[in-house]
Structures are given as C-alpha cells and as structure tokens.
Structure 1
Amino acid sequence: FGRPIGDFQAIQHKLADMYTETEAARNLTYKSAWEVDEGGSPNTMLASMAKEYASRIAVKTANEAVQIHGGSGYVNDFDVERFYRDAKITQIYEGTTEIQKMIIARELQGKGF
C-alpha cells in the first residue's frame, strides 16, 4: 500500500503483543531458575508453568510472524517458517503441553486450590 508494513496500526499492535508476551514468558522462566538458585531445589509447578507458557507464546508469536509476512512467511526460504517449526516442537518434547498442565493442576490441588 505504498508504505512499510510496520507503519500500519494493526501490525504495530501485533508486534507490541508479541513482545509483551515474550517478555512475560522470559520473566517466568527467569523466576523459575532464580528459585532453584536461591533454594537449591526446583519448584516443579513454577518450572512447568514456565515451560508451558513459554512454548505456547513461542508458537503464538511465530504464527503471528508468519501471518505478518503473508504467503512469503510460509515458504522455506524465509526464517519465520523455520521459527514456527522450531517453536512448535517446544510444545512436544521434554513434556508436552498437556503434561505440563497436569503437573500444574496436581501441584495446585496439593496446595488446597
């Protein structure tokens, strides 16, 4: 439309959401690591929350990046296509998203929630 795609408000909003959610995932991961450093033993629920949330946000963000790039984002020649594939596997290996949610729920139930 005769101007950079980043000048459009809808794209700016997507980018703002993507960055905010990525920072939230990063901080949840840092908190989990910090608790291990401070206490010596892993907080299972916090680690599962970090893994589940970070992997969900990675997929969501990569999906938005593909959408922003349109048809070009879907072909193998562009990095965003690889980013999406790399993000999706994080929901599968080292404990699927569903397993992480089961761990979180089990921990919550044990705490009387």
Structure 2
Amino acid sequence: MKREELILKWLDHNLNDEELKAFEALEDHKDLLRLSQASAAFKPSHYNIDKQYTLLKEKRESKTKSIGLKPLLRVAAVVVLALSLYFYTTRLDTKVITEIAQQTSVLLPDNSAVELNA
C-alpha cells in the first residue's frame, strides 16, 4: 500500500491491524504522531455562516449607486476654467469707436489710459 494511502487511512482512523503495522514502520511515523497531537490542540474559532451571510446581504442591498462628488467637482472645474479663459481672451481686444469730433478716454486692460480725439 502506498504511503499516502496509509496516512489518509490513519487520519480517517480506518486502519486495520496489518495497515497499522505498515504505518508504524514508516520513517516519519513519529513525526506524524507529533503533528497529530499538536493539531489536536488546535480548535478553530466558531464562525457563524448565517450571521455573516445576512450581514453581507444587508451591506450589498444598502449600497445605492450614486454619482460621487469628485466627478461633479471635476466637471465644474473644467466649466469654470473654460468660461474664465473665454472671458479673459474676449476682453483683451479692446475696440473703441468714436464719432466725428468726439473725444473719448479709454482705460486699457494693462491700466494705461488712451485719449481718442477724432
């Protein structure tokens, strides 16, 4: 019988006398016994599957799809930037038209004053 089969039967407590003698003849018999004794002291913590399932289900149901604030702020920033650039560039071209024999003083965007005397 293969070594793995013996170990599996030993773990399942299904060894007959002949298989038990073959198991005891294995090289790592003592190591397997120590491992078995050490793992017997290990007890997994109690895990309530139903409770965890209901918590997960509630969490999934409570989530509503909503648009986050960040994407809206990004769009608003782009709109503000575009409008600012538009108004800045359109105000740079200062055109003043005067009628015949009219005097006008104009303050340019660079804060210089110009007197028009037509």
Structure with more strand by fraction: 2
Q: TM-score of the superposition, structure 2-length normalised?
A: 0.24
Q: TM-score of the superposition, structure 1-length normalised?
A: 0.25
With CA pairs under 8 Å and 6+ residues apart, which has the higher RCO, 1 or 2? 1
Larger radius of gyration: 2
